[in-house]
Structure 1
Amino acid sequence: MSTIHTQKKSRGTFNSLYTGEGGIDFIGRSKLWYWITGILLILSVLFIAVRGFSLSIDFEGGTKMNMPAADYSTEAVEETFTEATGVTPELVQVVGSGDARILEIHSERLGDDQIESARLALYEEFEPVNSEGVATPDAIGNSTVSESWGSTITERMIIALVVFLVLAAIYISIRLEREMAIAAMAALIVDGVVIAGIYAVIGFEVSPATVIGLLTVLTFSIYDTVVVFDKVRENTEGYEHSLRRTYGEQANLAVNQTFMRSVSTTIISALPIIALMVVAVWMMGVGTLKDLALIQLIGVIEGTFSSVFLATPILVWLKNRSAATKRHNEAVAAAREGRLDDAEEVLTPAVGGKRTVAKPVAPEEPGQPGGTWRPGRS
């Protein structure tokens, strides 16, 4: 009997989240979400200002050399490279796993003579082999990007981000109400700043693939926010003429009703990204895929947080500043205290000067406490 009871309780809990009856007070804890967001924003801006970003050679220009990693020591490779070129590399790292491990050397832009000297010195010291198992200097590859090319890429990255934000603002302004559009853009900006702050804190390299991934996850964030706001708009339609719930309570109900959908979408989105990181990065050592997968994993999690815990509280705050919503909140409070006449006096008039008043929900069961709605009760 206890097992059956536990199973029913478990199913009831999840079902209550899906149906919006779970009563998680997202809006009531708005200050907590604001504090968390504020701390993240402050830390992100500080780290961006102090540490900056670790830009790939595609943005800064420079030279990257690579060879099969084998069991070479990164310190020994760095020393050999420095002695051959007179330049200390900015980064020496091993990516991938097993036979696919690659050793990469990042440095400032080198001349052709320096690159050739480094290639010969690395070959003489470590004798790397090619895919056929033959030791040859050709097993050491290199790529160079000029500073002018890097500045062009940087300029185009900035243009792409600005165009994206403008198009996103236009779309949600048409698609949503004014307050919803403001809240959605605020949450989107928070996403961008926090993700950038994470990259500055940890020192992840920013590459063109990172920018592509950022645009992708910002789009995901907008999508998730629009889904939540669609439900908010459905729940709050005509709320001014009803004493059933306040705007904030209707919005909170909408977040409850879409919460499990957002979580499920995040998990489903994260699984292939994690698979990409494990297979393509850890096993194959494909650096470009690593950059793409990493930004998407971070962005999907952050986007879900902002759409569920930030966008709707901002929307309710904006709505509660309007005179109509203030009057409605007063009317609902008066009705719950049993002062229906006073509630009618402050409730927004309907068309034609008549008032349409929906009384608070009366209890349907003898043991149910009294006609006042609380989060989690339908």
Structure 2
Amino acid sequence: MSRLGTIGARLYRGEIGYDFVAKRKFWYGVSILITIAAIVGLAVRGLNMGIEFKGGAVFTTPKTSVSVTQVQETATETSGHHAIVQKLGNGTLRIQVSELDTQQANTVQTELAKDLGIASEKINAELVGPSWGEEIANKAWTGLGVFMILVVIYLAIAFEWRMALAALIALIHDLTITVGVYALVGFEVTPGTVIGLLTILGYSLYDTVVVFDGLKEGAVGITKQTRFTYSELANRSLNGTLVRSINTTVVALLPVAGLLFIGGGFLGAGMLNDISLSLFVGLAAGAYSSIFIATPLVADLKERDPQMKALRKRVLAKRAAAERDGSPGTGSEDDAPDAPLGDPAAAGAGGGLVTPRADRGRGRSSGRRR
């Protein structure tokens, strides 16, 4: 078995663990800083809206050896607007010029044909009106709103309102970061971007719902024991699905990274850039938020409940009494809803990888009959 597989098996069996919930304030701070950077980038730089949202013309040339710079200068000077030129993988050029009417588009097409030394009919020209992009954007906003409402209702029914609220905050966190990255890197926002943003919504919730499901099962009868607090139980559920979440995210990111860095970077496929960047950032942000935001936030909200406050007092009081008596203080095995992930006291104090103490057999005879 590989080292990662061994670690995953030990996490699942509860032999080791990392206390994410105990360090939640640190992760909250990191997320707030990243979100602020995304919002500032969005406010200062703004989104580079594609021609589908602003209107204009798109010209596609046959395979040519003329440089991108030369074609860009010709299109910009002729139209009076900044032209965006992309060299596609098959050697053709894609020229976008915003805010052009039919007559201006014909003039640009003619000048481009002269520059390339071909007939103007060989250059494919398409006029795009801004109303089409506006319609797409409105439908996307509507779909996003309906999706979030349905998600909140479903999670509130299937789990509880605290988990629904935490999942919604994590989802908004992922979308804000993804849109902010688009503003910072200056990638063009096209209908492909909108598709990518809507696609990551499900991915962002997948890991979160998996952890919530384990937490819901583990929390059954939690007030009847004095071994774990709710936060410690939430941390156990998170560690139990950690390796699976990482593996799922990595497997999903690999093909998306291929689209982004190979398809978009080397082959120059513009549409691949638009959709793959949103998928790449959204998947990474979704995996991060499910581990460092959603579950710790649920624990924070749940610990405000009077029953969970009373449980925490009982657990801490029992541990304090056990420390005074010099005993392990983890309670009997029948108190725990499941096998322990690790020593809760050690996990809460150190916040790192912990290994449970070998309590079993302490103070007992070797089992030999005399």
TM-score bracket relative to the smaller structure: 0.7 to 0.9
Cα 1:8–1:76 change in 2 (3 A) is: closer
Q: 1:283 to 1:138 in 2, by over 3 A?
A: farther
Alignment of 1:172-191 (within 5 A): 172-191=155-174
Paired amino acid for 1:73: S
Structure 2 distance, partners of 1:311, 1:339, is 33
What secondary structure sits across from 1:338 in the alignment? helix
Alignment partner of 1:88: what SS? coil
1:320-335 paired onto structure 2 within 5 Å: 320-335=303-318
- C-alpha contact (below 8 Å) 2:38/2:180 kept by paired residues: yes
Cα separation, partners in 2 of 1:338 and 1:157, compared to 1, 3 Å: same
For residue 50 of structure 2, the aligned residue among 45, 52, 56 is: 56
Q: 1:90 to 1:120 in 2, by over 3 A?
A: closer
Aligned equivalent of 2:66: 72
Q: Which residue does 1:300 correspond to in 2? A: 283
Query: What is the match of residue 111 of structure 1?
Result: 101
- Matching residue of 1:27: 21
Instruction: Report the CA distance between 1:314 and its aligned residue.
Output: 0.4
From 82, 86, 91, the equivalent of 1:93 is 86
1:237 Cα offset (Å): 1.6
The partner residue of 1:359 within 315, 319, 331 is: 331
Q: State the distance in 2 between where 1:71 and 1:8 align.
A: 50
Q: Deviations over 1:68-104 (max 9, x none)?
A: 464433332122123333x12242333x43xx13322
Quote the Cα distance in structure 1 between the aligned partners of 2:134 and 2:5: 56
Q: CA deviation at 1:287?
A: 2.8
> Equivalent residue for 1:212?
195
Distance in structure 1 (CA, Å) of the matches to 2:185 and 2:151: 29
Residue aligning to 1:167: 150
RMSD: 2.6
Aligned-partner Cα distance in 2 for 1:105–1:43: 32
* 56-65 vs 331-340, which moves further: 331-340
Deviation at 1:217, TM superposition (A): 0.9
Residue in 1 aligned with 2:364?
none
Q: State which of 40, 46, 54 in structure 2 corresponds to 1:46.
A: 40
Pick which of 201-210 and 256-265 moved more. 201-210
Unaligned segments of structure 2, at least 5 residues: 324-329, 335-341, 348-353, 357-370
Per the normalisation by structure 1, the TM-score is: 0.81
Among residues 206, 228, 233, which one is paired with 1:245 in the alignment?
228
**Matched-pair contact (CA < 8 Å) for 1:183–1:314:** yes
Structure 1, unaligned runs of 5 or more: 1-6, 128-134, 341-357, 363-369
- Counterparts of 1:307 and 1:53, CA distance in 2: 27
CA distance change for structure 1 residues 237 and 377 in 2, over 3 Å: closer, same or farther?
farther
Instruction: Read off the aligned partner of 1:104 and give its amino acid letter.
Output: R
Structure 1 pair 185–58 and aligned structure 2 pair: CA distance change class (3 A): same
Q: Which amino acid aligns with 2:201?
A: L
Once the two structures are superposed, residues 208-230 of structure 1 have per-residue CA deviations (whole angstroms, 9 ceiling, x without a partner) of: 12111111111111121100111
The answer to whether the Cα contact below 8 Å between 1:336 and 1:360 also exists between their aligned partners in 2 is no
Distance 2:130 2:3 in 1: 63
Secondary structure (helix, strand or coil) at the match of 1:337 reads: helix
Aligned match of 2:360:
none
Which residue is 1:230 aligned to?
A: 213
% identical aligned pairs: 35
Map of 1:349 onto structure 2: none
Give the letter for the 2:86 counterpart: Q
Cα deviation, residue 109, structure 1: 2.6
How far, CA to CA, are the matches of 1:200 and 1:166 in structure 2? 27
How far is the alpha carbon of 1:326 from its aligned partner? Answer: 1.0
Q: State the 1:204 CA deviation.
A: 1.4
CA displacement, residues 164-223 of structure 1 (integer Å, 9 cap, x when unaligned): 212222222222212111111111111111111111111111111211111111111112
Measured against aligned partners, the alpha-carbon deviations of 1:326-375 in whole angstroms (never above 9, x if no partner) come to: 111110011111269xxxxxxxxxxxxxxxxx93559xxxxxxx987544
Change (3 A) 1:102 1:147: same
For normalisation by structure 2, the TM-score amounts to 0.83
Contact 1:240 1:324 in 2 (8 A): yes
| Map of 1:264 onto structure 2 | 247
User: Is 1:126 the equivalent of 2:98?
Assistant: no
Q: Which residue of 1 aligns with 2:351?
A: none
Partner of 1:132: none
Aligned residue type for 2:97 = S
